[in-house]
Amino acid sequence: MGAPSDGWLERDGVGLHYLEWMPEPGPGRQPPLLLLHGLSSNARYWERLARHFPQRRLVALDQRGHGLTGQPPRAPRFPDGYAMDELLKDVDFVIDNLRLDKPVVVGHSWGATVALELVGTRQGTTGGLVFIDGPVQSAANLFSWEEAQKIMQPPLPRFTSFEQAVSQSKRDFEGAWDQDLESFVKARIVPDADALVLTLTAPVRLELLRGLYEAQPDVLWPRVEVPAAALLARHGPARIATSREMGAARLAELAPKVEISWYESPHDIPLFLPTEVASSVEHIASLAAGEASEAAAG
């Protein structure tokens, strides 16, 4: 699969940027993949995974406050423009305007929460769900909002150069770093006076975190009617690892049809184990294709 193309849509004055990979010529039509990144990330995060799907159409959205989406002068209203409902309307808009026929939605971290909200509240819109290391249970079950802010809202970095930004990412992704991630680093920073800062500002991040904190996965999981998998990382801070295990046990009770897989990886599983993640995504996409064929035949 070659390099992705850049695309733009506009919804209510907000510029939505996305990357798109078109499939190589081949037999039959396969469900497309719609990719939703996590906080402080961007659509370029998915480039490593995308190489494993030469026969599928892939669309990776820069979500609001990230990458090129919503940059001035086409930025969302603050704070209302960063509500969960606006994020879902963006995804609906992308699906409709790019004519993605029941895509398999793949979300990582915060993007996994957005994906679950979409699949759980928009029945009939999507063909499958791959939920990658997002909060499996409600954060409100684990922390107060005051605690959550301290855990999830560390100071945002300022870089004196692109090289310093790359060095930070090398530390963040130690063991998975390679030069192919430099495009991801470029897409997550913008100039600010004599420094480089993340496209995601602290006030916007706080609004997005509030939506994440208020999400109710426990309510949404039983509503998932399409093939679905939760891919969870075993490595990470002890408190987070414990909450993952508790959440996985609860998920197994709430939605026993959702496939749960554990990976010997830190949080960024798509970067550390792209081949394994691609296999899981392909499995769900194949199940989605089978259900679509059965529905058409019936």
pLDDT in tens, the chain (298 residues): 678 999 999 999 999 999 999 988 766 668 999 999 999 999 999 999 999 999 999 999 999 999 999 888 889 999 999 999 999 999 999 999 999 999 999 999 999 999 999 999 999 999 999 999 999 988 787 778 888 777 777 889 999 999 999 999 999 999 999 999 999 999 999 999 999 999 999 999 999 999 999 999 999 999 999 999 999 999 988 878 888 899 999 999 999 999 999 999 999 999 999 999 999 999 999 999 987 766 666 6
Closest CA to 133 of 208, 39, 67, 205: 39
Give the CATH H-level superfamily of domain 5-151+200-297: Alpha/Beta hydrolase fold, catalytic domain (3.40.50.1820)
CA dist 76 → 85, 90, 113, 225, 274 (Å)? 13, 11, 20, 32, 33
Query: 126-147: string of b/e by CB count within 10 Å (b at 16+)?
Result: bbbbbbbbbbbbbbeebbeeee
162/143 Cα distance (integer angstroms): 36
Residues of the chain within CATH 3.40.50.1820 domain(s) are 5-151+200-297
Which residues are registered as beta bridge partners of 132?
108, 231
